[in-house]
Structure 1
Amino acid sequence: MTTALRRLRNYIDGEFRDAADGRTTEVVNPATGEPYATAPLSGAPDVDAAMAAAEAAFPAWRDLIPAERQKVLLKIADRFEERAEELIAAESENCGKPIALVRSEEIPPMVDQIRFFAGAARMLEGRSAGEYMDGFTSIIRREPVGVCAQVAPWNYPMMMAVWKFAPALAAGNAVVIKPSDTTPASTVLIAEIIGGVLDELGHSRGVFNVICGDRETGRLMVEHKVPAMASITGSVRAGMQVAESASKDLKRVHLELGGKAPVVVFEDTDIAKAVEDIATAGYFNAGQDCTAATRVLVQESIHDEFVAALAKAASETKTGAIDDEDVLYGPLNNANQLAQVKGFIERLPAHAKIEAGGEQVGEKGYFFAPTVVSGLKQDDEIVQNEVFGPVITVQSFADEKQAVEWANGVEYALASSVWTKDHARAMRMSKALDFGCVWINTHIPLVAEMPHGGFKKSGYGKDLSAYGFDDYTRIKHVMTSLDG
Structure 2
Amino acid sequence: MDTDTGNRFPVEDRFPAQDRFAAGAQYIGGRLRPGTSGRHQEIVDPATGDTVHTYELAGPADVDAAVAAAKEAFPGWSGATPGERSEALHRLAGVLAERAEEFARAESLQCGKPIKLSREFDVPGTIDNTAFFAGAARHLEGKSAGEYSGDHTSYVRREPLGVIGSIAPWNYPLQMAAWKILPAIAAGNTIVLKPAETTPLTSLLFAQAATEAGIPDGVVNIVSGAGKDAGEHLVGHPDVVMTSFTGSTGIGKRVAEIATRTVKRLHLELGGKAPFLVFDDADLTAAVHGAVAASLINTGQDCTAATRAYVQRPLYEAFVEQVAALMETVRLGDPFREDTDLGPLISYAHRDRVAAFVERARAYARIVTGGEAPEGRGAYYRPTLIADAAQDSEVVQAEIFGPVLVVLPFDTDDEGLALANDTPYGLAASVWSRDVYRTGRATREIKAGCVWVNDHIPILSEMPHGGYRASGYGKDMSAYSFEEYTQVKHVMYDNSAVAAKDWHRTIFGDR
Range of TM-score over shorter length = over 0.9
Residue aligning to 2:224: 212
Report the secondary structure of 1:471's partner residue: helix
CA distance in 1, matches of 2:54, 2:265: 32
From 431, 439, 446, give the equivalent of 1:433: 446
Residue aligning to 1:192: 208
Residue aligning to 1:249: 262
Alignment of 1:154-169 (within 5 A): 154-169=170-185
CA distance in 1, matches of 2:440, 2:452: 11
Aligned partners of 2:95 and 2:212 also within 8 Å = no
Residue aligning to 2:6: none
| Residues 243-294 of structure 1: CA deviation (Å, up to 9, x unaligned) | 1100001100011011000000111112122101210111011001001012
Q: CA deviation at 1:148?
A: 0.5
From 160, 179, 191, give the equivalent of 1:175: 191
Aligned partners of 2:17 and 2:201 also within 8 Å = no
Whether 1:313 aligns to 2:326 is yes
Q: CA deviation at 1:434?
A: 0.7
Residue aligning to 1:404: 417
CA distance in 1, matches of 2:346, 2:268: 21
Residue aligning to 1:481: 494
Alignment of 1:4-15 (within 5 A): 6=18, 7=22, 8-15=24-31
Whether 1:453 aligns to 2:469 is no
CA distance in 2, matches of 1:204, 1:24: 29
**Percent identity (aligned):** 46
Letter of the 2:36 counterpart: A
More displaced, 343-352 or 421-430? 343-352
- Structure 1 residues 142, 352: CA separation in 2 closer, same or farther (over 3 Å shift)? same
CA distance in 2, matches of 1:318, 1:5: 27
CA distance in 2, matches of 1:331, 1:465: 31
Alignment of 1:298-309 (within 5 A): 298-309=311-322
Report the secondary structure of 1:344's partner residue: helix
More displaced, 448-457 or 8-17? 8-17
Whether 1:278 aligns to 2:294 is no
TM-score by length of 1: 0.97
Residue aligning to 1:240: 253
Q: CA deviation at 1:53?
A: 0.3
Gaps of 5+ in 2: 1-11, 498-511
CA distance in 1, matches of 2:334, 2:362: 33
CA distance in 2, matches of 1:67, 1:334: 43
Aligned partners of 1:151 and 1:177 also within 8 Å = yes
Structure ID, larger Rg: 2
Report the secondary structure of 1:205's partner residue: coil
Aligned partners of 1:39 and 1:184 also within 8 Å = no
Residue aligning to 2:280: 267
Aligned partners of 2:146 and 2:154 also within 8 Å = yes
| Residues 348-404 of structure 1: CA deviation (Å, up to 9, x unaligned) | 153310111001123211111011000011000010011100001000111111111
Report the secondary structure of 2:218's partner residue: helix
TM-score by length of 2: 0.92
Residue aligning to 2:476: 463
CA distance in 2, matches of 1:454, 1:310: 28
| Residues 84-122 of structure 1: CA deviation (Å, up to 9, x unaligned) | 111111111111111122111122221111111111111
Aligned partners of 1:39 and 1:212 also within 8 Å = no
| Residues 46-69 of structure 1: CA deviation (Å, up to 9, x unaligned) | 010000000000011001110000
Q: CA deviation at 1:130?
A: 1.2
Report the secondary structure of 2:166's partner residue: strand
Aligned partners of 2:108 and 2:336 also within 8 Å = no
Report the secondary structure of 1:297's partner residue: strand
CA distance in 2, matches of 1:18, 1:455: 39
Whether 1:74 aligns to 2:95 is no
Letter of the 2:190 counterpart: A
CA distance in 2, matches of 1:179, 1:40: 14
CA distance in 1, matches of 2:276, 2:187: 35
- Structure 1 residues 171, 361: CA separation in 2 closer, same or farther (over 3 Å shift)? same
Alignment of 1:370-385 (within 5 A): 370-385=383-398
Residue aligning to 1:59: 75
More displaced, 374-383 or 189-198? 189-198
Whether 1:329 aligns to 2:342 is yes
Residue aligning to 1:356: 369
More displaced, 283-292 or 343-352? 343-352
Letter of the 1:290 counterpart: C
CA distance in 2, matches of 1:162, 1:184: 13
CA distance in 2, matches of 1:432, 1:13: 48
Q: CA deviation at 1:324?
A: 2.1
Q: CA deviation at 1:21?
A: 4.2
